Amino acid sequence: MKNNHGTLFVVATPIGNLGDMTTRAIETLENVQRIYAEDTRNSLKLMRYFGINNDLLALHDHNEVQKIEEIQKFLEAGNDAALISDAGTPLISDPGYKLVRELGKADIKIVPIPGASAVITALSIAGIPTDRFTFEGFLPAKSTARKQVLAGNALEPRTQVYYESNHRVQACVEDIVEVLGANRQITLARELTKKFEQVYRGPVGYLGEWLDEDTKRLKGEFVLVLQGADKQDDHSASELDHRKMLKVLIDELPVKQAAKIASQLSSMTKNEAYQLALSLK
């Protein structure tokens, strides 16, 4: 059904290297009547660099819900708008999902202007299977919660992609080793597309040491691409994974609760998990 509403363009911007801005992104940001940006000060630099003169308004995690009505009215009046985030593709660990959902319901046209995203950029050079993968976004900041998520993914056969901040990358790597063992293959990609872009590929057991070798390696932005659980040695691998998962859980929870969660996350029955948990206690 046709209407006279304007369009929301969801526009990807570079994740570091401004040379990755697409022609379509520049044209779109020039042509819309208004741009919504996660951080207007940050996006102003991008606008200036590309000589784009346009109104920038803030749309971030804290005001997204309140802004939806205003944006919907603006578009329903026949104006076009663009949504950008600080870097990469909006909605990918960035605000915008609720806005897109509601505008979709209101029958407003939403057009993607694709470009860089750290998840795909990292996968493209990881050297870890990319036929199937899960994007996990940021792991929890606290170690206990982080280990629970990792334990929940211990048997996941697909490649897993995590975003991580420089404050936590070392602690996160330690938790991966503790929960999944030292042998899992991992690719750490830091500062993608930027001057100090760097990549580690190998077992996660050596990654902590690699990071410690040079303090500069702990700076910047990181993506972790983790190989999925090995399917070849299903039985012994799952036995090992069950033990690892339960070890993490019983460190934090009473045995009964740990067994219940472990059975929900694995092929073990509650009783099998309980017996295994008791033997590990």
Instruction: Select the span of 18-26, 157-165, 208-216, 259-267 touching ligand SAM (CB under 6 A).
Output: 157-165
Nearer to ligand SAM, 161 or 249 (CB): 161
Report the alpha-carbon distance of residue 281 to residue 44 in Å, rounded: 56
Report the alpha-carbon distance of residue 123 to residue 223 in Å, rounded: 9
Closest contact distance (angstroms) between CB of 254 and ligand SAM is 34
Closest contact distance (angstroms) between CB of 3 and ligand SAM is 30
Nearer to ligand SAM, 161 or 248 (CB): 161
Q: Which residue has the tokens 């319901």?
A: 105
Closest contact distance (angstroms) between CB of 8 and ligand SAM is 17
Report the alpha-carbon distance of residue 162 to residue 129 in Å, rounded: 15
133 lines the binding site for ligand SAM (CB under 6 A)? no
| Range 167-186, binding ligand SAM (CB under 6 A) | none
194 lines the binding site for ligand SAM (CB under 6 A)? yes
Nearer to ligand SAM, 190 or 244 (CB): 190
The candidate with the shortest Cα–Cα distance to 97, out of 223, 10, 7, is 10
| Range 55-94, binding ligand SAM (CB under 6 A) | 85, 87-89, 92-94
Nearer to ligand SAM, 117 or 159 (CB): 117
Provide DSSP, 34-97: EEEESSHHHHHHHHHHTT----EEE--TTTHHHHHHHHHHHHHTT--EEEE-SSBSTTSSSS-H
The footprint of ligand SAM on this chain (CB under 6 A) covers a number of residues equal to: 24
Give the CA distances from residue 155 to residues 72, 101, 139, 233, in Å, rounded to whole numbers and listed in that order. Answer: 43, 32, 17, 12
Instruction: Select the span of 48-56, 57-65, 72-80, 190-198 touching ligand SAM (CB under 6 A).
Output: 190-198
Task: Give me the count of residues in the chain.
Answer: 281
Candidate residues 98, 193, 218, 252; the one interacting with ligand SAM per rule CB under 6 A: 193
The candidate with the shortest Cα–Cα distance to 262, out of 143, 229, 145, 250, is 250
Report the alpha-carbon distance of residue 108 to residue 3 in Å, rounded: 8
Name the site residues for ligand SAM (rule: CB under 6 A): 15-16, 85, 87-89, 92-94, 117-119, 163-165, 189-194, 221-223
